[in-house]
Every structure is written in structure tokens, then in C-alpha cells.
């Protein structure tokens, strides 16, 4: 009889703790982005800076993204039930996709406003240094959040948290662009405030594109890790009685890997022996790869065996 591997059980408990930590940092990110957005948009409107105003709107979008990520993580923690037999892990990628779409839409709006202002608005004086200080503070906050999210995303395997980490990196870059645009107005390059707004919009759209690409690959069950496939093959073929494996398939489901494979065994052995070999393969895989979830193994004869009917 197969018994649960305590190492894997510890991995699952640790992963759940990391997921809970990811949920908390998404909450913190939401609150931080709302405050940053209020300050940037308020000072941007007060000082007449499109770059700072655009970055403020961008921060509000980041808050929406963080809230979307929080919802995705919350849903992913639900247990499998009669409707979702494989659990809710893929809701993490679904909400990540929603967040990415929001990012691209906001990027289009920000870029459009920047282009419009560039051709219709002319400034005659530099923007106050206060605007630069607000943008600099936004850079620091975004960098701190990006590092924390990225670290937890690597450990927990949460795709939505990784998307939010990209979002924070992009947020820091956008705030840097806003800072540069405000700084250049002091040298008479007033149009750079509008140009900075356009660049921020482009940053947002690019980040959204990569987030959509990664989330879509997860939802489409794409998996590209040759080293892991080789490791699974090595472990399986090391079990006595297995001549080869066929049709190896791996897909990611949240922090876990689901594996399906066909093993080639002697066609003359009993069903019980074939099942014992399959169980041993699963046990060895769990001992060596703790991030495995469901493992499906189908034994098949290595060669055709002819039997005479009625003999």
C-alpha cells in the first residue's frame, strides 16, 4: 500500500504558508499603491505635470492589479470539490490574465493622453521639485514591493504574484521616467513631461503583454523544462522491471507538477506486479521531486504477447 511521503507533506504545508504570505503582500501592495496614487495624482494635477499624473493613475491601476492578484491567490487556496476535481490552482493564472488585460488597457489610455498633450499643450516654467520628490518616493516603494513579491513568487510558484512583481518593476521604471521628465523641465525641455507620460504608457503595455503570455501558457498546460523531464525519465527507468517510458506529459497546477506517463514492462507479468512497479515509480519520484502533485502511470507491455484462445 502506498503511504504519503512526509517530505512531500512538509512541502505542501510550507507552500501553503508561502501562499498565505503572498496574499498578505498583495494586500500591502494594494494599500501602498492607493496611497502613492493619491499623492502622485494630487501633486500632478496641482503642479500641472502629466508625467506625475500619469504615474498616479498608473499606481491606481497597480492597486487594482494587486487586488486582482489577491483574489486569485485566495481562490487558489480552495480545496478540490465535486465541480473542480483538480482544485482551484488555475484561478491564480486566470486572475493574473485579468490583471494583465487591465494593465494593457491603462497603458493605452496613459499613452493616448501623453500624445494628446504633447501636440496641444506648451509649458512655460519648470515643474516644482516637489514633483520629483514624490516620484522618487514612488520608485523606492515600488522597488521594495517588487523584491518581496519576486522572492515569494519563486518560492511559492504563484504565477499571479510573479505578474504583480513584474508590475512593481514596471512601476519603478515608470516612476523613474516621470522623475527624469520632471527633472528635464528645469533645463527648458518642457515637452519631456508629455513624452514621459507616453513612455510610461508603453511600459505598462509591455509589462501587460509579457504577463498575458505567461498566464496563457500556464492555462494552455504548456511546460518547458527539459531538465525536469530528463530527471523524471531517469528516476522512472531506474526502477527494476521497466524497459522504457512513453508519452511523458507534465503540466503545472499552481505550485505543483502533475505527471502522466506510460511505462513499458514485461507483457507476461501479472497485473499485481505491474501495479507494484507503478507504485514504486511514484514513490521514488516523490522522494526525489517533492513538488509533484498527481502522478498517473499506465503500465503497458514492452512487446506483443500472443495467447491461444481456449488452450
Q: What is the pLDDT of residues 72-91, one digit of tens each?
A: 667 766 777 788 777 777 77
What is the share, in percent, of the chain residues with pLDDT greater than 70?
85
Computed on alpha carbons and rounded to an integer, the radius of gyration of the chain in Å comes to 26
Rounded CA-CA distance 291/130 in Å is 49
What CATH topology corresponds to 226-301? Alpha-Beta Plaits (3.30.70)
Name the residue with cell 504477447: 305
CATH 3.30.70.1350 segments of the chain: 226-301
Decide if 211 contacts 99 (C-beta within 8 A). yes
CATH 1.20.1510.10 segments of the chain: 6-219
Q: What is the pLDDT of residues 24-75, one digit of tens each?
A: 877 888 888 888 888 888 888 888 777 788 778 778 877 877 777 777 667 7
Name the residue with cell 518642457: 190
Close Cβ partners of 270 (under 8 Å, ≥ 6 residues apart): none
Decide if 185 contacts 192 (C-beta within 8 A). yes
For residue 46, give the 3-state DSSP assignment.
helix
Q: Which CATH class for the 6-219 domain?
A: mainly alpha
For residue 303, give the 3-state DSSP assignment.
coil
Decide if 103 contacts 167 (C-beta within 8 A). yes
Of 66, 124, 74, which is closest to residue 98 (Cα–Cα)?
Answer: 66
State pTM to two decimals.
0.63
Highest average pLDDT, of 88-92, 122-126, 130-134, comes from 130-134
Decide if 226 contacts 196 (C-beta within 8 A). no
> C-alpha grid cell for residue 152?
515569494
Decide if 264 contacts 283 (C-beta within 8 A). no
Q: What is the pLDDT of residues 255-288, one digit of tens each?
A: 678 899 999 888 888 889 989 999 999 888 887 8
Name the residue with cell 521628465: 181
Amino acid at each position: 500500500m502506498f503511504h504519503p511521503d512526509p517530505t512531500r507533506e512538509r512541502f505542501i504545508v510550507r507552500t501553503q504558508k508561502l501562499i498565505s504570505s503572498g496574499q498578505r503582500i498583495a494586500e500591502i501592495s494594494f494599500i501602498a499603491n492607493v496611497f502613492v496614487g493619491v499623492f502622485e495624482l494630487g501633486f500632478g494635477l496641482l503642479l500641472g505635470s502629466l508625467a506625475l499624473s500619469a504615474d498616479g493613475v498608473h499606481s491606481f491601476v497597480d492597486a487594482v492589479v494587486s487586488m486582482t492578484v489577491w483574489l486569485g491567490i485566495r481562490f487558489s487556496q480552495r480545496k478540490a470539490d465535486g465541480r473542480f476535481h483538480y482544485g482551484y490552482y488555475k484561478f491564480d493564472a486566470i486572475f493574473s490574465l485579468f490583471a494583465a488585460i487591465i494593465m494593457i488597457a491603462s497603458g493605452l489610455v496613459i499613452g493616448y493622453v501623453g500624445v494628446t498633450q504633447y501636440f496641444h499643450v506648451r509649458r512655460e516654467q519648470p515643474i516644482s521639485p516637489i514633483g520629483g520628490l514624490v516620484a522618487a518616493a514612488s520608485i523606492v516603494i515600488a522597488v521594495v514591493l517588487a523584491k518581496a513579491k519576486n522572492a515569494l513568487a519563486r518560492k511559492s510558484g504563484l504565477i499571479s504574484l510573479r505578474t504583480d512583481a513584474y508590475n512593481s518593476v514596471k512601476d519603478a521604471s515608470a516612476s523613474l521616467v516621470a522623475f527624469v521628465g520632471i527633472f528635464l523641465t528645469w533645463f527648458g525641455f518642457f515637452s519631456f513631461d508629455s513624452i514621459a507620460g507616453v513612455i510610461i504608457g508603453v511600459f505598462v503595455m509591455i509589462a501587460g503583454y509579457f504577463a498575458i503570455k505567461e498566464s496563457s501558457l500556464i492555462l494552455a498546460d504548456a511546460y518547458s523544462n527539459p531538465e525536469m523531464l530528463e530527471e523524471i525519465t531517469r528516476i522512472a527507468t531506474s526502477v527494476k522491471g521497466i524497459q522504457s517510458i512513453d508519452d511523458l506529459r507534465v503540466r503545472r497546477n499552481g505550485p505543483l507538477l502533475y505527471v502522466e506517463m506510460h511505462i513499458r514492462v514485461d507483457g507476461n507479468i501479472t497485473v499485481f506486479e505491474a501495479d507494484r512497479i507503478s507504485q514504486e515509480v511514484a514513490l521514488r519520484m516523490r522522494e526525489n521531486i517533492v513538488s509533484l502533485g498527481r502522478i498517473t502511470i499506465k503500465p503497458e507491455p514492452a512487446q506483443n504477447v500472443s495467447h491461444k484462445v481456449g488452450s
